[in-house]
Amino acid sequence: MPAPGIRVSAPPLRTTSAAARRGIAGTVIGALVGTLLVLLPASAAQAAPVLLSQGKPVTASSEENYGTLAASAVDGNSATRWSSAHSDPQWLRVDLGATTQVSQVVMDWEAAYGKGYRIELSTNGTDWSTAFQTTTGDGGTDTVNISGEARYVRMNGTARATPYGYSLWEFKVYGETGGDGPQLPGGGDLGPNVHVFDPSTPGIQTKLDQVFKEQEAAQFGAGRHQFLFKPGTYNNLNAQIGFYTSISGLGLKPGDTTINGDVTVDAGWFNGNATQNFWRSAENLALNPVNGTNRWAVSQAASFRRMHVKGGLNLAPNGYGWASGGYIADSKVDGQIGNYSQQQWYTRDSAIGGWSNGVWNQTFSGVEGAPATGFPNPPYTTLQTTPISREKPFLYLDGSTYKVFVPAKRDNARGVSWSGTPQGTSIGLDKFYVVKAGATAATINQALAQGLHLLFTPGVYHLDRTINVNRAGTVVLGLGLATVIPDNGVTAMKVADVDGVRLAGFLIDAGTVNSPTLLEIGAQNSSADHAANPTTVQDVYVRIGGAHAGKATTSIAVHSDDVIIDHTWVWRADHGDGVGWETNRADYGVRVYGDDVLATGLFVEHFNKYDVEWYGERGRTIFYQNEKAYDAPNQAAIQNGDTKGFAAYRVDDSVNVHEGWGMGSYCNYNVDPSIRQDHGFKAPVKPGVKFHSLLVVSLGGMGHYNHVINNTGASTVPAGTTTVPSNVVSFP
């Protein structure tokens, strides 16, 4: 976040080539996202095949040599393998952890495959039954449909096809449930922190005011709230939105729920300074502002989505004090948007009546009515379309039934997605496990293994183990900035390399024991092509420190291809509790290894080393906002070999194609203002690597940059304490 009162107006790389992976993956076509609205009937959740074996304990009759371990067959990494001794018989056994119904085994053989083998099942690891057998195996990928209950599943090889042993890249077991015990129910009530109104509800304004009073200044508090307005018209309301508070309409389109009044964010709690107005949102409403203009003075982690403002929108606090940038998507603002003191802002796939003012970096993609590119003066960067977008899932009412609408993917998008019939699919709430106070990671994983989606109600959830999202198409949706905290150094959430997972609307808060990662999308060397149905990460925020002394080596690691990161704030805290150079240590913010990953609205700040590193090919970033860590104790603490400082955004030298638009890095080395940063951005000089509208700025002379990108771009030193950016219009 910006410094109050200062501002003015790797893990191993992939070993398989992209071309080879695309060629292999191209033989399998994933399920396409529906292109028309599909209303699913409310019914009991149906079990769906779920990957049960990944990361589970595994043993083998033998291991050929170091590097071909049994565990490599269930690690989700298609570039590692298990191989056995050169004799018959040999076996590989996975322990699923509990007896469960299994339905399928998929074996990805290396060249040394099994011609004869059996798939065997056991509930105790001693007594085995044969679920499948063959003497005519031909290698490649074997998909075997089976039926039975098992805790242990074994491939028992009886005849090798080559003189070598048995060798499997991956051994995958799928099933319908995640363990013993009764099935968890889907649906249910939304808990005490979800406040649902209809136009006849008495005391709506009183409830809004009560929650705002609690949340206005509760920057690191435990309160979490979601306001839901049923379709209809509401008069004379002013919904002031504080920390960890979200307000949404329950219609399928914004116009289904109209507020004749305002949804307001201001900065009275912080003496008119809006640079710390984080963690809140407004979605899916139509507003008729009382005075013609609605005020939404926010900074990071505050999304404004699927809104229709029938008037203007003011992005500055009362008095036009400091403000540090935000995000608008899929919204229509009939009047003008007044940017005023917002230092940076990103607007995507919307329609606006006009835009005024700008400080350093205002970026637009797919926005009807956006100003033309003029960077750096005026500081506008405009793309006519967004290459790929898919809007965030949201809760709505179909009659009296709650459902979650999952919008369809759009290519070369421009304007709002809801101008006609909404395109996408609807999923009944009965197909969601509604996560409420007291839920454990074990229960959450059981729900996922049953085939349920997740809806986190507003609250803070402590995890003693990783949440594993293994099923394609799973939706994980948070209400009211629901927050998950890994307590014992685990990764908070891992997503398998599958199609179409949607993560949206929650905060991951690092625990006090260091986690190697907080969110992983895919495993190392993931190779599947997800272009038709990518995984999306939307309004998913990460925090290390601030509420307590959190630690994590890497916040987000993206290994899958085609992922869309659509608005995230990944923040190593610079204020609050548990803050210090080593106290809330976090070396890396976002590390991207997958190919064809698109980031739209990337905010990453204050990491001890690289804030963003990009290893995948054909990556694209539209809008990037960064601050280097304020609290570096001295120059030596950030020395990177012969380079002064770690770049805010680094593209690896191995990358041939990459592109970015509207990207800024700021320094505020307030512990040692003599620190010099060689550059904000680092990238290989190749024809396919391109950047547009780059800037670096020293906030009040607290440290300086020598260049913008590599050795290109003027130093900020001559600007002294004036907080004037150094710009590069295009690179190379």
Residue 207 and residue 140 in one domain: no
Number of H helices, E strands in the chain: 3, 53
Domain edge (last residue) among 338, 369, 390: 390
Residue 691 and residue 637 in one domain: yes
Element at 445 (helix H, strand E): helix 441-450
Q: 332-342 in b/e burial notation, b at 16+ Cβ within 10 A?
A: bbebbbbbbbb
Residue 416 within a domain:
no
Element at 21 (helix H, strand E): helix 18-25
Residue 477 and residue 538 in one domain: yes
Q: What is the pLDDT of residue 183?
A: 82
Look up 627 and say whether it is catalytic: yes
Q: Are 343 and 323 in contact (CB under 8 A)?
A: yes
| Residue 691, C-beta contacts closer than 8 angstroms, at least 6 positions apart | 659, 660, 661, 663, 681, 683, 709, 728, 730, 731
Residue 367 and residue 489 in one domain: no
Q: Which amino acid is at 540?
A: V
Q: What is the pLDDT of residue 76?
A: 86
Q: Are 482 and 505 in contact (CB under 8 A)?
A: yes
pLDDT less than 70: residues of the chain: 1-48, 66, 177-182
Domain edge (last residue) among 390, 412, 441: 390
Residue 201 and residue 108 in one domain: no
Residue 437 within a domain:
no
Measured between alpha carbons, how far is 711 from 718 in angstroms, rounded to an integer? 16
Q: What is the pLDDT of residue 22?
A: 36
Residue 469 and residue 540 in one domain: yes
Count up the domains in the chain and report the number.
3
Residue 499 within a domain:
yes
Residue 442 within a domain:
no
- Residue range of the domain that includes 494: 459-731
Measured between alpha carbons, how far is 528 from 21 in angstroms, rounded to an integer? 7
Residue 155 and residue 106 in one domain: yes
Q: Which amino acid is at 339?
A: N
Q: 575-601 in b/e burial notation, b at 16+ Cβ within 10 A?
A: eeebbebeebbbbbbbbbbbbbbbbbb
CATH of the domain at 150: 2.60.120.260
Question: Which of 68, 70, 63 has its CA nearest to residue 85?
Answer: 63
* Residue-wise pLDDT tens digits, 87-119: 999 999 998 878 888 999 999 999 999 999 999
Domain edge (last residue) among 375, 390, 405: 390
Q: What is the pLDDT of residue 79?
A: 85
Residue 125 and residue 203 in one domain: no
CATH of the domain at 556: 2.160.20.10
Residue 623 and residue 725 in one domain: yes
Residue 118 and residue 233 in one domain: no
Q: What is the pLDDT of residue 247?
A: 98
Residue 102 within a domain:
yes
Residue 141 and residue 272 in one domain: no
Residue 293 within a domain:
yes
Question: Which of 457, 469, 389, 397 has its CA nearest to residue 426?
Answer: 397
Residue 170 and residue 198 in one domain: no
Tokens of 721: 């304490």
pTM, two decimals, is 0.83
Catalytic residue among 216, 617, 627, 659: 627
Residue 418 within a domain:
no
Residue 2 within a domain:
no
